[in-house]
Amino acid sequence: MSAVVGVGQAHIDHLAVVDRYPEVEANLELAGLSLQGGGIVATALATLANFGVPTRIVAKISNDDFGRFIERGLAALEMDTSHLVVEPDCISPYRFVVIERERHRHTVLHTPGSVSPLRPSEIDFSVLDDASLLLIDGCHTDAQARLAEEARKRDILVVLDAGALHEGMGDLVPLADVLVAAERYASEIAPRGEIEDSLIELGRMGPKTVVVTLGEEGSIGLEGDKLVRQPPLAVDVVDTTGAGEIFLGGYCYALLQKWPLERCMQVASAAAGLSCRELGARAGMPRLQEVLESA
């Protein structure tokens, strides 16, 4: 099987569960705690690796404890980490996520650390050798744009996750064959009254397929004249952290099988829903067979 290459975020997720959000100067005992690897590209690739797909990651970390934790977690999934860029004596990217247990609401505190942005010159383009899909997330846009241009020359499918507005994201959208966007991004980039109008406008920017995730409302996708609405999978939710990244990984897996839009969205939705049964995205990654049976 050919490899999937991902370029973008890889960080620490420090997850803290509370029964209720604390007031100022409160002193609360945590109801749960977990330290896991995170990041849009890293977690989507982790999902694919968990499904048995060969994966390679390009991301920038440091040689601190956080960076070593990130690398160990990815390597444990048999992901090719040889293209990680390590900038010594810096702080690796980190997120602290406070989760209100009953309502599943999140407060996210994050820092990119002190590592510098990934530069195009730091990427060895041999990472694309024998690849069938390139996954980017709008982080390090200069480097991602350069690699996406090279991928298109090689007829490698380019998938862009647009979970948030990053500077330079507008340069990446035309380079993507598939755009998976959060509802907020879609409404900000294509501010029309109906989500269907936003899908059409985003498609006019270049991608052949546009999928918008809608949280508890599921997802909606447009490919040519085909419009697909996909409800979420009903599960007993413990935590929704990283569900969007798992959705992305599941969608990419279905793309590799050359399944139609509706099947891709079914698989992605099932993967995302099943991941919500545990605390944290990495801990909640479902098995492939369970996803296919639930989709």
The residue ranges of every structural domain in the chain are 3-8+42-89+122-294
Locate 184 and state its tokens: 């907020």
Strands 209-213 and 219-223: antiparallel
CA nearest to 232, candidates 182, 195, 271: 271
CATH of domain 3-8+42-89+122-294: 3.40.1190.20
Percentage of residues of the chain with pLDDT beyond 70: 98
Decide if 72 contacts 44 (C-beta within 8 A): no
Please give the Cα distance from 117 to 62 (Å, whole number). 12
3-state secondary structure of 137: coil
CA nearest to 168, candidates 189, 138, 146, 205: 138
pLDDT digits (tens, 9 = 90+) for 17-74: 999 888 888 898 999 999 999 999 999 999 999 999 999 999 999 999 999 999 999 9
**Which of the residue ranges 36-50, 143-157, 176-190, 224-238 would you say has the lowest mean pLDDT?**
176-190
- Helix count (H) and strand count (E) of the chain? 9, 14
- The kind and range of the H/E element at 107 are strand 105-111
Please give the Cα distance from 278 to 266 (Å, whole number). 21
pLDDT digits (tens, 9 = 90+) for 247-265: 999 999 999 999 999 999 9
- pLDDT for 166 equals 73
Q: How many residues does the chain have?
A: 295
Decide if 10 contacts 93 (C-beta within 8 A): yes
- pLDDT for 192 equals 63
Say whether pLDDT at 165 is over 90.
no
